[in-house]
Structure 1
Amino acid sequence: MSQHYRGGCFCGAVQVEVVGAPEAMGYCHCESCRHWSAGPVNAFTLWKPEAVQITQGREELDSYQKTPNSRRQWCRRCGGHVLTEHPGMGLVDVYAALLADLPFEPRLHVHYQEAVLRIPDGLPKMKDVPVELGGSGETLDE
């Protein structure tokens, strides 16, 4: 039986459900994610698009695409962030904070060269992203 995890925006108007296991979990330190999340780091869970479903409030979603790499989506009512589509990777980031019942088990840090908050946790620190996601695969020191 597949696991189902549910979450929603800040006001609850938009609800999302993911099924199965994420392709990856970790922390992104890129400037775009930091500005978008208004924090020093963004905790992500990456899913195949078919594993992600908006179960309520699709009409409340709005989006912004600063670059071809990411289309960020949020609730028009409350401004709560919901997900980011990454077309080049073929993955969707449902923000880890939305999925309260998902055991968050980060495996890496990406875009660590842009970090403003160093996190010495023993996880791999990628310069950008892994090779299989279109990056260099280069790691950095903690």
Structure 2
Amino acid sequence: MRQAQHLALAALALSLTPSFAVAERNLVPTLDRSFDVCPDRPAEPVWMQEIPLRQAYQRVLVQDIYRAQNLERVVEVGNCDCATRFPSWDAAEGVFRERHASDERWEMLEASDSYSRRANDVRLAAKAICEAAGNW
């Protein structure tokens, strides 16, 4: 009985292999970022894109600040146009430089967690506003 099950599984795996191979060939990686929603959103600042891997936590912190600020703003103003949801990175960079640039790594990780929680607290409300505007 066990051998029959193994043979059946092997046959199934072999029959699915061509489908997986075709699907895999259709996945073409690209470095170009394209978005379905708000495609003209501002790019991250160059310094963030060029940050050394050992300091990637700094980039993540600025991204978390940006996300929290933007979702909170969407809820605050009740509007989810592209300029509100994806403004320039200036405000997030400013908060990073004023409050966190001289922090130790562990302090930045704690701050990142805090901003992430803030964003998650308003995410559902922002999502409802943005879905109604077609920008989610």
Q: TM-score range by the shorter chain?
A: under 0.3
Q: Compare CA radii of gyration and give the structure with the larger one.
A: 2
Structure with greater helix percent: 2
Greater RCO (CA < 8 Å, at least 6 residues apart)? 2
Q: Report the TM-score when normalising by structure 2.
A: 0.23
